[in-house]
């Protein structure tokens, strides 16, 4: 199996997930638009398509490593081929998702549905620059999320049972401390959170660059984990 074959195989993981996800989202938006009182009042409702899409990519990336790793080993492919194929598939899937989001939001707006989206609210002019800037920022942010998900899944796959328990406890403890910090310093946390979500739409290209750099670093970590995973782990739980 070469990289091109690996790419096509890993890209096929999304052949059913994509239409199911977008089918559900379109039905939900139509139902929300038809039943919402804001439609009759001439106001708008937030689509949430970008956030939903990012969660979709995150979960999908979490589910792609184990089976693909086993198949690649069985077919005699190298771990490098596996990683290169996944990166190519992630780049294409991300581009398709950003494109589909643009098309869906555009169709809803042209159809009279009052949908709000950061895509159209960003303070950049002219409008084509706004579309391009937001698309670049979303594309890079999606890659970062997919890379994080892939790091988590291949990292956990490599660990033994004790290691998985230790890491899970550490993650749980970190989340507990983070929650306590957020409650104790609520005003500071709210300000930081607001800045975190606002920055990508005030500085889309700079934010996209940060996301892309972080994604590259995380994928390098993924390679360090995957390159020498013992074959015995392919049958481990």
- Tell me the domain boundaries of the chain: 3-235
Q: Which has more pLDDT, 186 or 13?
A: 13
Flag the least confident range among 46-50, 74-78, 174-178: 46-50
Cβ-proximal residues to 225 (8 Å cutoff; 6+ apart), any chain: 151, 154, 155, 158
211 exposure class (CB count in 10 Å sphere: 0-12, 13-18, 19+): buried
Q: Report CA-CA distances (Å) from 1 to 18, 91, 226.
A: 25, 20, 17
Max Cα-Cα span within the chain: 62
Per-residue pLDDT of 114-127, as tens digits, reads: 666 666 666 666 76
**Are residues 153 and 66 in contact, defined by beta-carbon separation less than 8 angstroms?**
yes
Per-residue pLDDT of 204-216, as tens digits, reads: 788 888 999 999 9
Among 4-8, 164-168, 187-191, which range has the highest average pLDDT?
4-8
| Portion of the chain with pLDDT greater than 70, in percent | 76
> Measured between alpha carbons, how far is 85 from 66 in angstroms, rounded to an integer?
14
**Are residues 90 and 61 in contact, defined by beta-carbon separation less than 8 angstroms?**
yes
Structure tokens at 130: 């706004």
First to last CA, the chain: 25
User: What does the pLDDT read at residue 235?
Assistant: 44
**Mean predicted confidence (pLDDT) in 166-187:** 75
User: What does the pLDDT read at residue 121?
Assistant: 60
> Measured between alpha carbons, how far is 99 from 48 in angstroms, rounded to an integer?
16
**Mean predicted confidence (pLDDT) in 89-112:** 85
């Amino acid at each position: 199996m070469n990289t091109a074959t690996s790419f096509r195989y890993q890209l096929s993981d999304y052949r059913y997930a994509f239409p199911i996800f977008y089918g559900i989202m379109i039905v939900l938006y139509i139902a929300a638009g038809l039943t919402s009182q804001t439609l009759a009042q001439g106001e708008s409702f937030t689509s949430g398509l970008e956030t939903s899409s990012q969660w979709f990519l995150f979960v999908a990336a979490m589910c792609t490593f184990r089976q693909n790793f086993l198949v690649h080993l069985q077919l005699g492919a190298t771990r490098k081929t596996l990683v290169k194929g996944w990166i190519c598939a992630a780049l294409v899937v991300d581009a398709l998702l950003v494109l589909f989001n643009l098309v869906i939001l555009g169709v809803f707006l042209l159809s009279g549905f009052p949908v709000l989206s950061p895509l159209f609210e960003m303070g950049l002019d002219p409008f084509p620059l706004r579309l391009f800037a937001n698309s670049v920022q979303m594309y890079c942010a999606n890659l970062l999320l997919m890379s994080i998900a892939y790091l988590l899944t291949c990292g956990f796959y490599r660990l033994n049972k004790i290691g998985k328990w230790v890491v899970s406890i550490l993650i749980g403890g970190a989340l507990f401390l983070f929650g306590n910090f957020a409650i104790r310093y609520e005003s500071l946390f709210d300000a930081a959170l607001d800045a975190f979500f606002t920055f990508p739409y005030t500085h889309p290209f700079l934010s996209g660059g940060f996301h892309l750099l972080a994604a590259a670093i995380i994928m390098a970590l993924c390679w360090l984990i995957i390159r020498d995973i013992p074959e015995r782990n392919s049958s481990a739980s």
